A and B are shown apart, each in its own frame.
Chain A
Amino acid sequence: MSFEPKNPAIKWVEDRLPLPGMLHHALYEYPTPKNLSYWWTFGSLAGFMLVVQIVTGIVLAMHYTPHVDHAFNSVEHIMRDVNYGWLIRYMHANGASMFFIVVYLHIFRGLYYGSYKAPRELLWWLGLVIFLLMMATAFMGYVLPWGQMSFWGATVITNLFSAIPLVGDSIVTWLWGGFAVDNPTLNRFFSLHYLLPFVIAGVVILHIWSLHTSGSNNPTGVEIKDKQDSIPFHPYYTVKDLFGLAIFLIFFSAFLFYAPNYLGHPDNYIPANPLVTPAHIVPEWYFLPFYAILRAVPDKLGGVLLMFGAILVLFALPWLDKSRIRSARFRPIYKQLFWIFVADCILLTYIGGKPAEGAYLIWGRIATVYYFVHLLILLPLVGLFEKPKPLPASISEDVLSKKKPAKEEAANA
C-alpha cells in the first residue's frame, strides 16, 4: 500500500489529495489472481465501450436536433454533411451493440465462476444496476433518430407502464408529456439519454471500488491466500487487457466498416409516422430475450411483471445459489446446467426476434419457464445435493499442478 512518488510534483499533489496513490493502487499494484483467463477481460472492455459511447455521443449531440421536425433530418445531416459524421454515428450505433455483447459475456462469466457469491454480492448488484441503466439509456438513444422503429419502440415500451393497475395510464401520460409519443417525449429522452451514461460512469466507479475491496474472483473460485497467488495488475493485466482490446477492436471494426447496419432495422430509415405502425416491429437484439418473456405471457400485467422479474430475480442470485463452491469447474452438475441456461437465453433471443405465433409462441413459453426454473428451483437444489470436485488448496497450487508432466499428474490422481 505504500506509494512513494519520486516526482516532487506528484508528491505535492499526493500529500494534499491522494488521487495519484489511488490510481497507482487501482491500475498498478492491485494484487490480481495470477490465473485470470481472457474471460476476465470483458470488464475492462465494457469500461472502454462506455468511454467510446460517451465520446461519440457528445460529438453526435453537437450536430443533432431534438425536435420532431428536425431529428430525422439532423441524423441524415450527420451521415452526409458532417466531417466523419457517418463514422462517428456508426461507431455509436454499433458501439451500443458491442457494449451489450461484452457486458453479456461479463455477466455470464460471473454466473459460471460464481462471482456473485459472498463477499461480492454488492459488486454483483452494482453490476446489475449498471445493466438496467444501460438498457434504459440504449432504449432512449434508439428513439432519438425518430425513424419508424424509434417512434413505435418508444410507444410500445412506454405502454408497458400502462399495465400498472389504477395509475398506469396517468404514468404513461406523465412519461410522454402528452397524449401520445411526441415532441415533449423526444426532448426528455434526449436529456435523459445524455444524463444516464454519466450516472453509469458513477456506478462503474462504485463497482470497481467494491471489486478492489473484495479482490477479483478467478477461475478456481479460491480466494488469494498469500503473495504467491497474485501478481500486480501492471504490467501483467494491463498488457493482457490491451491485447484483448486489440482483438475486440478488430471485431468491432468488422461491423463498423463492413456491416454497419447489420444490427439495425431498415424501417428506422423511414421517418416516424404516428399514423402507421410497421408490420413487424422488434426491439434491438440485446432486448430480445426479455421481449420474448414479455410475449410468452397471454396477460398484459403478467407479461410486464415477468419481464421485469427476469432481471430483478438476478439480484437474489447470491442467496438462491446454495452452493458454497464458486467456480463451475468444481461443480459437475451446475456446469451442465449453466450451459443449458446459456442455450435457453440464446433460444429466448431467437424467439424474441420472431413473430409471436405458432411454434415460436410455444417455444417461447417453454424457454421462459425454464429461465425461471433454472434460477428459482434448480440453482437452490443443485447447491444442496451436488457433490463438488475437490478444490485446490490455493490458486498457486492449481496453476502449478497444470505444469506437471502428464505422468506425474496421473500418479497423483
Chain B
Amino acid sequence: MTTTTPEEENGVKRRDFLYIAAGGLGAVGTAAAIWPFISQMNPSADVLALSTTEADLSGIEVGSELTVVWQGKPIFVRHRTEQDIASAEDVDLATLPDPQPDSERVIKPEWLVMIGICTHLGCVPLKGQGDYGGWFCPCHGSHYDTSGRIRKGPAPANLVIPPYEFLDDNNIKIG
C-alpha cells in the first residue's frame, strides 16, 4: 500500500476518530432500539386508566370493615369503634418499630383507610386477629394494631395509607 493514514500532531489518527464515531453511533442506535423492549413491560395505557377507585361508606357499620380493590390491591376501609380509636391514640410512640401517631394515619378518626398488604412480603393480613386487636399476617406472623401500625413480627413498617379524599360524608375516592 502506498497510502498512509495521516497523523495529527498529538498522535490522534483519523482512523481513531472513525472508530469512536462509528462505535458511538452504533451504541446510541442500539440503546434506542432496546428502549421500547424495556418500556413495553411497564403498565399499559388501559392499566394506568384504572388508577382511582371510589367507595361508598354508608353501608359500613361501626366496628366492621369493607375491602375494596384499588389498582389490583385490597384496600381495608375500617369503621373504627370509640374503643379502637382510643387504643390507637393511647400508645407510647417510642415503643413502636415505626413510630407514627394515629392522627397522621387518618383524615377522620372513625375511618381508617389503608392498603391491606403486609409490608413484610406482600400477604394480606387477617382482621380482628393478633395481639393488638388489629390485623395479623398469617404468612410470617406480623401483628398490626387498630391503627394498622406494626407492633410485633418481621414486617418493617406500618400498613401503607393510600392517597384518598372524602368526596362527601359518605364517599371516598382512592388514588
Q: How long is the Cα–Cα vector from A95 to B83 in the complex, in angstroms?
A: 67
Please give, as numbers and ranges, the residues of chain A lying within 8 Å of B47 by CB-CB distance: 81
A55, A63, A80, A83: which has the most chain B beta carbons within 10 Å? Answer: A83
- Expressed in whole angstroms, the minimum distance between the Cβ of B47 and any Cβ of chain A is 8
Q: Quick check: which of B35-43, B92-100, B164-172 contacts chain A, the rest being far away?
A: B35-43
Please give, as numbers and ranges, the residues of chain B lying within 8 Å of A77 by CB-CB distance: 44, 46
Residue of B37, B41, B45, B46 touching A55 (CB-CB under 8 A): B37
Question: Do A83 and B46 have beta carbons less than 8 Å apart?
Answer: no
Q: Mark B82-104, 1 if CB is under 8 A from A, else 0.
A: 00000000000000000000000
Q: Which partner residue on chain B sits nearest A86 by CB separation?
A: B36
Q: How long is the Cα–Cα vector from A397 to B169 in the complex, in angstroms?
A: 94
Q: How long is the Cα–Cα vector from A269 to B37 in the complex, in angstroms?
A: 25
Q: Tell yes or no: A59 within 8 A of B by CB.
A: yes
Number of A-B contacts (CB under 8 A): 32
**Interface residues of A, dominant DSSP:** helix
Q: Mark A55-98, 1 if CB is under 8 A from B, else 0.
A: 10001001100000000000001001111110110000000000
Q: Which partner residue on chain B sits nearest A55 by CB separation?
A: B37
Q: Mark A25-60, 1 if CB is under 8 A from B, else 0.
A: 000000000000000000000000000000100010
- Expressed in whole angstroms, the minimum distance between the Cβ of A16 and any Cβ of chain B is 31
Q: How large is the interface on A (under 10, 10 to 19, 20 to 34, 35 or more residues)?
A: 10 to 19
Q: Which partner residue on chain A sits nearest B45 by CB separation?
A: A81
Q: Which partner residue on chain A sits nearest B41 by CB separation?
A: A62
- Contacting A at CB under 8 A, from B38-61, are 39-42, 44-47
Question: Do B36 and A84 have beta carbons less than 8 Å apart?
Answer: yes
Please give, as numbers and ranges, the residues of chain A lying within 8 Å of B41 by CB-CB distance: 62
Question: Do B46 and A81 have beta carbons less than 8 Å apart?
Answer: yes
Question: Do B46 and A84 have beta carbons less than 8 Å apart?
Answer: no
Question: Do B37 and A81 have beta carbons less than 8 Å apart?
Answer: no
Please give, as numbers and ranges, the residues of chain A lying within 8 Å of B40 by CB-CB distance: 59, 62-63, 82-85, 88
Please give, as numbers and ranges, the residues of chain B lying within 8 Å of A87 by CB-CB distance: 36
Q: Mark B12-47, 1 if CB is under 8 A from A, else 0.
A: 000000000000000000000000110111101111
Question: Do B39 and A84 have beta carbons less than 8 Å apart?
Answer: yes
Please give, as numbers and ranges, the residues of chain B lying within 8 Å of A59 by CB-CB distance: 37, 40
- Expressed in whole angstroms, the minimum distance between the Cβ of B49 and any Cβ of chain A is 9
Q: Which residues of B contact A (CB under 8 A)?
A: 36-37, 39-42, 44-47
In the A-B complex, the 5 residue pairs with the smallest Cβ-Cβ separation, listed nearest first, are A84-B36, A81-B44, A81-B45, A83-B39, A81-B46
22 A-B residue contacts at CB 8 Å? Answer: A55-B37, A59-B40, A62-B40, A62-B41, A63-B40, A77-B44, A77-B46, A80-B45, A81-B44, A81-B45, A81-B46, A81-B47, A82-B40, A82-B44, A82-B45, A83-B39, A83-B40, A84-B37, A85-B40, A85-B44, A88-B37, A88-B40
Since A81-B44, A83-B39 are in contact, a sample of 17 more A-B pairs with Cβ atoms closer than 8 Å, ordered by chain A residue number, is A55-B37, A59-B37, A59-B40, A63-B40, A77-B44, A77-B46, A81-B46, A81-B47, A82-B40, A82-B44, A83-B40, A83-B42, A83-B44, A84-B40, A88-B36, A88-B37, A88-B40
